[in-house]
């Protein structure tokens, strides 16, 4: 596997500076008593000056649509807000690539749209996104590539349109409609 053309085994010790992970249970990544405190933890831990931390936290809350929840206890956030906070917590420390594990799990339709909107916004800002999911219909319309893992092996790595035809080979249901019709993004 390569990152920016470099074999990741050669840069394994510094991957954490470039790649962040949002786990399926995003609440396990939240440690602050408020949204603002949670977002500030990473930059402070990395030695960023407090003046820069404050401006970066404010900016990041705007990037993921949490500016109105800055002083909220993270435990009072909706599922979609919690996932967006976890994504922001990864990106704020400088990660240019984000891996999301089942980011739509247990979310209602508005939560799915909120998370997808935040992820697509980050992608438009140059952040590389990898989504691991069984819910293909929520991401296929926005994917550049679809990689199908089957029994621990990469079986397909292609454009989503081409990969759609191969789904039945792996006991995966082809979502109805065209790729364009599959979007959950408004």
Which residues touch 36 (CB under 8 Å, ≥6 apart)?
57, 61, 70, 71
| Helix, coil or strand: residue 106 | coil
Closest CA to 81 of 16, 143, 21, 34: 34
Q: What is the DSSP string of 15-61?
A: GGGTEEEE-SSGGGG---SSHHHHHHHHHHHTT--HHHHHHHHHHHH
Of these residues, 37, 81, 102, 161, which one is catalytic? 102
State the Cα–Cα distance between residues 73 and 81, nearest whole angstrom: 11
Give the E-state strand segments of the chain in sequence order.
2-3, 6-7, 19-22, 97-101, 128-132, 146-150, 153-158
Q: Does residue 52 carry a catalytic annotation?
A: no
Provide the annotated active-site residues. Answer: 102
């Amino acid at each position: 596997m390569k990152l920016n053309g470099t074999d990741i085994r050669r840069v394994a010790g510094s991957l954490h500076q470039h790649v962040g992970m949002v786990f399926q249970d995003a609440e396990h990544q939240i440690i602050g008593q408020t949204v603002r405190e949670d977002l500030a933890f990473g930059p402070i831990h990395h030695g960023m000056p407090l003046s820069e931390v404050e401006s970066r936290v404010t900016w990041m809350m705007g990037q993921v649509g949490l500016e109105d929840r800055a002083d909220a206890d993270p435990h009072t956030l909706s599922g979609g807000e919690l996932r967006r906070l976890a994504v922001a917590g990864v990106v704020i420390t400088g990660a240019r690539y984000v891996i999301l594990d089942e980011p739509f799990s247990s979310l209602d339709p508005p939560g799915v749209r909120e998370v997808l909107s935040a992820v697509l916004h980050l992608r438009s800002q140059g952040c590389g996104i990898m989504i691991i999911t069984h819910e293909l219909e929520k991401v296929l319309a926005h994917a550049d590539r679809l990689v199908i893992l089957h029994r621990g092996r990469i079986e397909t790595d292609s454009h989503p349109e081409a990969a759609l035809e191969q789904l039945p080979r792996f006991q995966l249901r082809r979502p109805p409609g065209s790729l364009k019709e599959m979007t959950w993004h408004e």
